[in-house]
Chains A and B, each alone.
Chain A
Amino acid sequence: MAVTIRRLEEFDEVENFDCGDEPLNNYLKRHAWTNQEKVSIGVTYAAVDESAPRTVLGYFTLATSSVPRDRFPQKYVRGLPPYDLPLILLARLAVDKRFSGRGLGHAMIAEALKITLRVADEVGCRCIITDAYSDKAGWYARYGFLPLEGASATGPQKMFLDVRTIRRASSIDSFLPERA
């Protein structure tokens, strides 16, 4: 399997995509293209195999956001620069269940983090945030995402990864084996 990750295109085949989660399937089938090209509220990246380059095997969606400085509690404001805090939102990440266990999730999060670093270099951003399903929080934690306190018991768990940590990881000339 030779996987390529690129921006979602208009004639990509998404109708058979099934990650086992209806809202995530529905987003790809009904909203991802419109949100990317027409209303510009998120860019979706699709993982495709070179042998079937139109069939989406997995996807993730990114957007930027920021938190106004005056919304932070006063006691932390001193440790932050005197501007709004710019961040990247990893809004969705899903793999078609027929292709799970083949490293697609790893390939996609790696691409999402590389894009984050490029955006940070180009226009500045401080961290990447994701809304993880509680049963997936452990998977994100492997990449260093830290849970934010204050999530509702039933809702998704917001998780944080500092761009400085990502930058440090990209500068390490590692000889780690492919799998831990």
Chain B
Amino acid sequence: MPQAVKEKSKKAATLPAKTPTPRKTKFQADLAPSEDSMVRVLKAELQMTSNTDFLSDALALFRWAVSERKRGHRIVSESSTGERKILLFPRLERVAPEVTLPHVDVQWTDKELESLAELASGQPAEPTNALIRAMRK
């Protein structure tokens, strides 16, 4: 094998494998004329030129709203006079947890935290008979 070819194949073997670029997905939507006009108006207001940027921002906003609702948080708008409105969006309500509990701070001693960490990081205990009975449907 000529020296130049050998060098080249050696070099190729030491180079890291090229990461394949993720394929972009095309997104096509059939919009009613009123929705199409809404998109145009919004794009103009937000000074956006591309549909890709528009969709990307809308997606980010929607994703945030879903994650907030999933955590049981309500999405509220507040006017300059303090008037509040809660967003009720049926699709978002589908992801809201059935049970929402408020969050409180618990006072812990260092020893309690150590004991909690030990239990939480270990294997779970087997359920007792009373627990099994309690969890019956």
Contact = CB atoms under 8 A, between A and B. Distances in A.
Interface stretch (B17-25, B26-34, B82-90, B96-104): B96-104
Nearest to B70: A123
Contacts of B71: 123
Contacts of B119: 127, 146, 148, 160, 162
Given A65-B106, A126-B120, A148 B126 contact: no
B124 interface: yes
A83 to B, nearest CB: 12
Interface in A80-118: 80, 85, 88-89, 91, 106, 109-110, 113-115, 117-118
Q: Is the interface of A mostly helix, strand, loop or mixed?
A: mixed
A151 B60 CA distance: 46
Contact of A106 (B99, B104, B118, B134): B134
B116 interface: yes
Given A106-B134, A149-B114, A174-B133, A42 B102 contact: yes
A79 interface: yes
- Which of B102, B122, B128 lies at the interface centre, i.e. has the most chain A CB atoms within 10 A of its CB? B102
